[in-house]
Structure 1
Amino acid sequence: MIASPVNWQAYVAVGLIFTTAHTTMATPVLSTRQATGCTREALLKAADSYVAAQTAGKLDSLSGLLASNWTYEENAKVISVAKALISKPLKIDNRRSIVDTVACASFTELIVTDPANPHVIGTQLRHTPDGLSITLIDSITSTTGAWLFNAKNTLEYARQEKWDPIPEDKRDKREFIKAAGDAYLDLWSDKDAVNRVPWANGAPCVRLEGGAYTGGPGKPVDTCKSGIPSNSSQAPNVRRRYVIDEIYGSVNIFNDWLHMRDAIDSHEFRLENSKLRYIHTITSCGDHACRL
């Protein structure tokens, strides 16, 4: 799952990348046609450049890729780059990216286990329709004190998972993948949502939440139902921003996790055989402690 931290050209041309790096945000774009010129290759190269920038703590690798009016957001706040995590060099232990050629966007998950500066980061990059310029770097950053945070555990469990491309004849449609993620996030505010989630009955599904894991990989008892809310009267998860990659059966959703003291949250879902297989979450509560 991890490529060489120095070989920035080594990426999988059709999908995910595993190496080292960082995060993004914006209004969801869910048009039914692919943006002209917005290719997987272009989006993956831009994600590589972002990872290189986070590794170096400098924007040099993004030179020529940033739109003139680009924005940087971190934990749902627009801040100056000088004060942002992207300006701090990080030694990235694991990186995985998905891309969305319809929304012209990407999502990258970064894991940093450095004991002096541990982080788990989720970043969405939003591009102009031609895919040539980045308009938004939207990052959700978690570190010590964040919800269930444990970067070492996150790395250990993430390395055990298998995020290969879904065979073409078994890929779910974009709308189905999005609906699966939305149904899960609706569990907190909609009593009927539990019936819309494509639970993996008879097949393992595991959730990596902070550094907590719902089970060992491959065990038939693994379930993503563990810990879901027992009632549906909580605040809804709003301001959802999507990156959907049919090739990997995955949707990443950034959202405001209002029932947890206004936390900022990233949920990524992978579906296999039209059922939930993996869920990854990153939750930041900013300058206050996370609590339900």
Structure 2
Amino acid sequence: MLGDLAGSDCDRTALSEAADAYVAAQTAGSLDSLQDRLSSNWTYQENNKIVTSQTSGVLRKPLKIDHRRTNYDLVACATYTELVSASGPYVLGTQIRHGADKKVISIDTIASTTNSWLFNATKTLEYVKQESWAPIPAAKRDARAVIQAAGDAYLDMWSSSTADKLVPWGTPCVRLEGSAYTGKGSPDDSCKPGIPSNHNQAPNTHRRYVIDEEMGSVSIFCVWEHMMNAADSHEFRLEGGKLRYVHTMTECGGKTCKL
């Protein structure tokens, strides 16, 4: 994985400071707060495409940030930050990776906005504020491989008829899909309603991971091939080995997303 370092070589303070600098940059619409933390050959990717212009991309748009949460991966030396700007309107997911010198080598953003799948930033903000993403006590944390396997199994359901059996379904569980909240109030209070029944669809490919055992979470960016090759972010949180939260963002290149 790009930017992987031995856990002992990854500096959580550097990760946290870079994530804060990224949020400041997004708030200002300027790279100034990030400049000292960027590697000389750093890359910026937005919705699965490399952005080379210094004046384009959502990172150059000043946004009022109403919600921010950052998760830390000390194995991959990376962070995942979820941002909501109701006035933007944008909901952003950003994976930031660091090199051996602690510098940022890549900023990878899924930027959802008007016309994105089930998009409504105001509703998304309302729902995320209802959730509790407290750190999981050390004795109750799931292993890194277990967390990733849960996310992979979920994303495999579109192309595999057996993947749903491998998802560690939990109760309660809620899915925030764009701005649609599934699970809360359903008969079994789970994330199962609406899972795919057609397992012969194109797979979800080019997956990139940020895994935080303390939060029980994995952020997975991918190409959602069966939905117009959309840029997609799925984040999963496990509690006690069971799925508790699913957050998704799906952007179809400025076009209205269609199945």
- 1:65 is the counterpart of 2:37: yes
Secondary structure at the residue paired with 2:76?
A: coil
Match of 2:26 among 54, 63, 66: 54
Match of 2:91 among 120, 128, 140: 120
1:57 touches 1:87 (CA, 8 Å); kept in 2?
A: yes
Q: Which residue of 2 aligns with 1:41?
A: 13
Opposite residue 84 of structure 2, the aligned amino acid is I
Q: Give the CA deviation at 1:35.
A: 5.5
Q: Which residue of 2 aligns with 1:179?
A: 149
Distance 2:17 2:153 in 1: 32
TM-score under structure 1 normalisation? 0.85
Q: Which residue of 1 aligns with 2:59?
A: 86
Secondary structure at the residue paired with 1:154?
A: helix
1:265 touches 1:282 (CA, 8 Å); kept in 2?
A: yes
2:183 touches 2:192 (CA, 8 Å); kept in 1?
A: no
Bigger strand share: 2
- Cα deviation code 1:144-173 (max 9, x no counterpart): 110000101100100000000001100000
Secondary structure at the residue paired with 2:83?
A: strand
Q: Give the CA deviation at 1:63.
A: 2.0
Distance 1:30 1:173 in 2: 18
- Cα deviation code 1:177-230 (max 9, x no counterpart): 000000000001111101110011xx200000000001438x873211111100
Q: Which residue of 2 aligns with 1:208?
A: 176
Q: Which residue of 1 aligns with 2:258?
A: 291
Distance 1:209 1:157 in 2: 11
Distance 2:142 2:4 in 1: 16
Q: Which residue of 2 aligns with 1:246?
A: 213
Opposite residue 252 of structure 1, the aligned amino acid is S
Distance 1:140 1:235 in 2: 20
Runs of 4+ in structure 1 over 4 Å off = 27-31
- 1:263 is the counterpart of 2:233: no
Secondary structure at the residue paired with 2:27?
A: helix
- 1:96 is the counterpart of 2:69: yes
Secondary structure at the residue paired with 2:55?
A: helix
- Cα deviation code 1:71-94 (max 9, x no counterpart): 111111111231111111000000
Secondary structure at the residue paired with 2:214?
A: helix
Distance 1:206 1:83 in 2: 35
Q: Give the CA deviation at 1:244.
A: 0.1
Q: Which residue of 1 aligns with 2:84?
A: 111
Q: Which residue of 2 aligns with 1:158?
A: 128
Distance 1:91 1:213 in 2: 23
Secondary structure at the residue paired with 2:36?
A: coil
Distance 1:35 1:63 in 2: 25
1:35 touches 1:104 (CA, 8 Å); kept in 2?
A: no
Secondary structure at the residue paired with 2:132?
A: coil
Secondary structure at the residue paired with 1:169?
A: helix
Secondary structure at the residue paired with 1:83?
A: coil
What runs of 5+ residues in structure 1 fail to find an aligned partner? 1-26
1:28 touches 1:242 (CA, 8 Å); kept in 2?
A: no
Q: 1:104 to 1:150 in 2, by over 3 A?
A: same
| Identical-residue share of aligned pairs (%) | 59
1:35 touches 1:129 (CA, 8 Å); kept in 2?
A: no
What runs of 5+ residues in structure 2 fail to find an aligned partner? none
Pairing 1:269-284 to 2, within 5 Å after superposition:
269-284=236-251
Secondary structure at the residue paired with 2:133?
A: coil
Distance 1:124 1:34 in 2: 18
User: How many correspondences in the alignment?
Assistant: 258
1:107 touches 1:252 (CA, 8 Å); kept in 2?
A: yes
Secondary structure at the residue paired with 1:155?
A: helix
Opposite residue 179 of structure 1, the aligned amino acid is A
1:35 touches 1:103 (CA, 8 Å); kept in 2?
A: no
TM-score under structure 2 normalisation? 0.96
